[in-house]
Structure 1
Amino acid sequence: MAYLVFDAGGTFTKYALMNEKTDILERGKFITPDYTSGTKEAFICMISDVIEGYKDRIEGIAISMPGMLDSDAGYCVTAGYLAYLCGTALAEILCEKYKFPVTIENDGKCAALAEFWKGSLRGCTNGAVLVLGSGVGGGLIIDKKLYKGRRQTAGEFSYVAVEEEQKYELDGYWGMKSGFQGFAKRVAFYTGEDWEKYDGRQLFERAMSGDEKVLKGLKDFTDSLALQVCNLNMLLDLDVVAVGGGISCQPLLHEYLEKSIDEYMENHPMRFLSPYIPRPVVTNCKFYNDANLIGALYHFLNKKGGAV
């Protein structure tokens, strides 16, 4: 059996023909209609063009996309950068048009499902996936199930306030602090350069070459990230926290994050008052660019009773 799986992002929408073993048989992408000028009709038209080419070869359609989604009803309560899809019963529209089962799920939650199914969270009871991108995405696995909450908002890490003095500004939230923008701004604090001109590969090349100012920015960044990882671990007593996303591909990030966590735990003011303050177990995500595709497929198969 084969399935058509989409990962709708703010810039590109990726798609793949996949089997139930997660093998990617074919893949492609198209430019996602811009969130400022795009329309629901334009998005559905582009996704339909892809479906037309595969409709004789597939058993169903799975979609990963941003936003707060009612995945049981296939309804977009919000849609992140794809704001034109807010209030759209996307799964129902496509299901009625093509007579295939169609599912949708939030992209960060798809990443968590992928890691739980076949990746770094496999076998865990409680775990978290943090996706460090333009913001902080991800999801929570609690009691071996994806935890979404009553309003589908559990695991929306970007919305967590981390700076009391900046609680009315975007920079006071976890999505800005621990996304790429937060890293770039910390480096720019030391270099005096324009943070908007940075890209991740460039910054890590400079860090690997020993640029002290970039390394100071990286240390500030991982210190902040470590604090939130430890908070999350204390709140939920997690077996493992898997970190993914673009900049997480860099081994230096994980090296610095582990050092930041060690430093925080060693200097925790309550370490002498509590017999045991758990140190979080942090690892890399197994799946990076394909995580959302794999998780969307898992959601589809699980909903249809076929996931293994």
Structure 2
Amino acid sequence: MARSAPHDRYILGVDLGGTNIVVGAMSVDGTREFGMHEIPTRAAMGADAVVERIVQLIERVAAETMAATGASRDALLGVGIGSPGPLDRERGLVIFTPNLGWRDFPLRDRVSEAVGLPATLDNDANCATLGEWWRGAAQGGRNVVGLTIGTGIGGGLILDGRLYHGASDVAGELGHATIDSTGRRCGCGNYGCLEAYASGPAIAERAREALAGGEPSSMPALVGGDLSRLTAALVYQAAREGDRLALEVVRETARLLGAGVANLLNIFNPDTVVLAGGVTQAGDALFEPMRAEVRRRAFKPAVDACRIVPGSLQGKAGVVGAIATFAQQQGLM
């Protein structure tokens, strides 16, 4: 029997987060996309309930894919899963993830057994970086650094076209690079991590601290005077509307990110740095001063060889990358 073409075979992808689960499917060659449905994770219900929700969404997307293509179940090759870590990819375990409260949980095999398909497991930030490299803003790169900026700051490294995992699967924890040895306490327990300054919650906290100085700003009005409701997205909104204090917070965030990215240029000499997540909402107000800070700090040959771009796969980079990790691990790309 003739082997079906790549566009007639499909891989499912799961992006598991502490807040939401996203599942989609793509053809092996990445030219066709199906599903991309999102549901709340409801981590408080426990690991078994979360797995059940993942499985239900996989089956929904699988059914939609088969209905849209006329493909049989045999055309579904497997499931790539992106999860917060740290992970043991070899054994398919989530070693620990505070947002989900899991320890040594066999996520890969639980999902695989439930849906009757082979599965792979990789770090969610690795997946987001690989997704942008395969089908997003980092296409064409061979050596790519990815930063995902949201509740925390994750990272991924693609070296010579392959994800780099390191000796114990924790390579790419770029948010925990120290940028101030005596600086703010990070959730990881260290002081002065990039995440402690430039993650979404850290940006909001720095804005609240600036507002405590009494400088006029539109930001309190955006939250009805309740500054506990201030988010990075609202800081970005105020900056776009010309609020001077919000603009300064965004510029300071750009300088901090620029320092971190400059270190990465000097260490890895990438051809592409891609930033994904809510940070892209800030637009040029963040990217222009960040690029300027990188030019100021990094070696010129490294700067000249590298483009720094916002991610383009809004809301689905993790799913696309989870599919790509499955394809890479199965020798399909």
Fold-level similarity (TM above 0.5)? yes
CA distance in 2, matches of 1:113, 1:258: 22
**Helix, strand or coil at the partner of 2:77:** coil
Q: 1:188 aligns with which of 188, 208, 221?
A: 208
Residue from 254, 259, 272 that aligns with 2:292: 259
Structure 1 residue 70, shift from structure 2 partner: 2.4
- The separation in 1 between residues aligned to 2:55 and 2:233, in whole angstroms, is 35
Aligned CA distance change for structure 1 residues 169 and 68 (closer, same or farther; 3 Å): closer
Alignment CA distance shift 1:301-1:169 (3 Å): closer
Match for residue 60 of structure 1? 78
Alignment partner of 1:173 out of 165, 186, 193: 193
Cα distance per residue 1:40-71 (max 9 Å; x no partner): 21112222223444377433222111112222
Deviation string 1:16-51 (CA, Å, 9 cap, x unpaired) is 2332225332232222123xx332211122222234
Q: Do 1:91 and 1:103's aligned partners in 2 also have CA atoms closer than 8 Å?
A: yes
Report the alpha carbon displacement of residue 217 of structure 1 after superposing the two structures with TM: 1.2
CA deviations on 1:60-84 (whole Å, 9 max, x unpaired) are: 2221111122223322222342222
SS of 2:172's equivalent?
coil
The answer to whether the Cα contact below 8 Å between 2:22 and 2:316 also exists between their aligned partners in 1 is no
Deviation above 6 Å: which 4+ runs of structure 1? Answer: none
> Structure 2 matches for 1:1-308, cutoff 5 A?
1-20=9-28, 21=30, 23-34=32-43, 37-53=44-60, 54=62, 57=73, 58-84=76-102, 86-166=103-183, 169-170=186-187, 172-192=192-212, 196-251=228-283, 252-262=285-295, 264-265=296-297, 278-279=302-303, 281-307=307-333
CA distance in 1, matches of 2:141, 2:58: 35
For residues 28 and 167 of structure 1, do their structure 2 counterparts lie closer, same or farther at Cα, with a shift above 3 Å needed? Answer: closer
Moved more, 216-225 or 243-252: 243-252
- Cα displacement (A) at 1:206: 1.6
Report the Cα distance in structure 2 between the residues aligned to 1:4 and 1:144, rounded to whole angstroms: 22
With normalisation by structure 1, the TM-score equals 0.86
Q: CA deviation at 1:227?
A: 0.7
Deviations 1:273-294 (A, max 9, x none): xxx5632531122322110010
Q: Which amino acid in 1 is paired with 2:94?
A: C
- Classify the secondary structure of the residue corresponding to 2:168: coil
- Deviations 1:149-183, CA, capped at 9 Å, x for gaps: 01111101222232222375546222121111222
Q: Distance in 2 between matches of 1:29 and 1:168?
A: 33
Displacement after TM superposition at 1:114 (Å)? 1.2
* Count of paired positions: 295
Given the superposition, is the C-alpha separation of residues 134 and 169 from structure 1 closer, same or farther in structure 2, using an over 3 Å criterion? closer
Given residue 128 of structure 1, which amino acid in structure 2 is its aligned partner?
Answer: V
- Does the C-alpha gap of structure 1 residues 214 and 145 become closer, same or farther in structure 2, counting only changes over 3 Å? same
Which residue number in structure 1 is paired with residue 68 of structure 2? none
Q: 1:29 to 1:89 in 2, by over 3 A?
A: same
Query: CA separation in 2, counterparts of 1:221 and 1:185?
Result: 12
Q: CA RMSD in A?
A: 2.4
Which sections of structure 2, spanning at least 5 residues, go unmatched?
A: 1-8, 64-71, 213-219, 221-225
Distance 1:259 1:186, change over 3 A: farther
CA distance in 1, matches of 2:45, 2:158: 34
Q: TM-score, normalised by structure 2?
A: 0.80
Q: Is the 8 A contact 1:69 1:76 kept in 2?
A: yes
Query: Would the aligned equivalents of 1:244 and 1:285 in 2 still touch at CA under 8 Å?
Result: yes
CA distance in 1: counterparts of 2:241 and 2:316, whole angstroms = 30
